[in-house]
């Protein structure tokens, strides 16, 4: 009789332990781990699909959103360079220090530039022949840098240029982070009881 009672206790204890481990595993899987930083988009309204400039700012009221010509979607930026203004349009974003980012845009026009303010790199095209052309560059932020202003502009007296699908890609892009919530409180399926 003692042997069977001892076996029953061990079986009950094993069942209770297995239930507790399963419940803890279920909670761990449901809650998950903190998401790791992944590459993503930093710019807002880079395709101008909101139909307005915001949050882009253009010098001298030179920029507007137009319905054509576009690279994709229904809207693009049009900015008119004058004899005294390059029609620079830019957006400031939060970035991480010592991190590499890729900036790209599709541009259409003569002497169109894409770059990063504050001594960052820039690239340009002398002319696109009336079609959109992709410009792209990479840059690494400084050790204490937490913001960057990216821009596009034309050249003095060269008239209107167009820009569309402007993108700043890098790790840790801001995005809504879902808050993990447990799906329920696990109930033990059995608990070991001591048998005298």
Mean pLDDT of 120-126: 96
pTM confidence score: 0.70
**15 and 101 belong to one structural domain:** no
Per-residue HEC secondary structure of 98-142 comes to CCEEEEEEEEECCCEEEEECCCCCEEEECCCCCCCEEEEEEEECC
**23 and 74 belong to one structural domain:** no
**1 and 76 belong to one structural domain:** no
**105 and 89 belong to one structural domain:** yes
pLDDT(189) > 70: no
Q: With bands split at pLDDT 50, 70 and 90, how would you rate the model's confidence at 7?
A: low
**16 and 67 belong to one structural domain:** no
**Mean pLDDT computed over every residue of the chain:** 81
Query: What pLDDT does residue 15 have?
Result: 52
**80 and 166 belong to one structural domain:** yes
Write out the DSSP string of the chain: -HHHHHHHHHHHHHHHHHHHHHHHHHHHHHH-PPPPP-EEE--SSTT-TTSS-TT-EEGGG-EEEESSS-SSSS-EEEEEE-SS----EEEEEE--TT-EEEEEEEEESSSEEEEETTT--EEEES--TTS-EEEEEEEE--TT--EEEEEEE--TT-EEEEEEEEEEEEET---PPPPP--S-----S-------
CATH number at residue 155: 2.60.120.260
106 falls within a domain: yes
145 falls within a domain: yes
94 falls within a domain: yes
182 falls within a domain: no
**62 and 18 belong to one structural domain:** no
**145 and 122 belong to one structural domain:** yes
**83 and 66 belong to one structural domain:** yes
49 falls within a domain: yes
Q: Which of 33, 99, 90, 30 is nearest to 60 (CA)?
A: 90
184 falls within a domain: no
**48 and 142 belong to one structural domain:** yes
**2 and 71 belong to one structural domain:** no
118 falls within a domain: yes
Query: What pLDDT does residue 119 have?
Result: 84
Question: Residue 107's beta-bridge partner residues?
Answer: 133, 163
Query: What pLDDT does residue 118 have?
Result: 84
Q: Structurally, how many domains does the chain consist of?
A: 2
Domain that holds residue 45: 39-171
**25 and 120 belong to one structural domain:** no
176 falls within a domain: no
Query: What pLDDT does residue 176 have?
Result: 41
Mean pLDDT of 32-48: 70
Mean pLDDT of 34-59: 84
């Amino acid at each position: 009789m003692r042997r069977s009672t001892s076996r029953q206790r061990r079986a009950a204890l094993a069942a209770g332990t297995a239930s507790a481990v399963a419940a803890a595993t279920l909670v761990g899987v449901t809650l998950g781990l903190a998401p790791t930083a992944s590459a993503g988009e930093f710019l807002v309204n880079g395709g101008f699909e909101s139909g307005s400039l915001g949050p882009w700012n253009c010098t001298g009221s030179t920029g507007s959103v137009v319905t054509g010509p576009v690279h994709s979607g229904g809207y693009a930026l049009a900015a008119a360079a004058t004899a005294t203004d390059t029609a620079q349009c830019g957006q400031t974003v939060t970035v991480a220090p010592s991190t590499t980012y890729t900036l790209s845009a599709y541009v259409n026009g003569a002497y169109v530039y894409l770059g990063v303010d504050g001594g960052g790199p820039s690239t340009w095209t002398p002319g696109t022949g009336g079609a959109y052309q992709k410009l792209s560059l990479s840059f690494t932020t400084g050790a204490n840098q937490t913001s960057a202003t990216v821009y596009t502009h034309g050249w003095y007296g060269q008239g209107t240029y167009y820009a569309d699908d402007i993108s700043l890609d890098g790790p840790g892009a801001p995005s809504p982070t879902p808050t993990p919530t447990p799906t329920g409180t696990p109930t033990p399926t059995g608990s070991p009881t001591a048998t005298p």
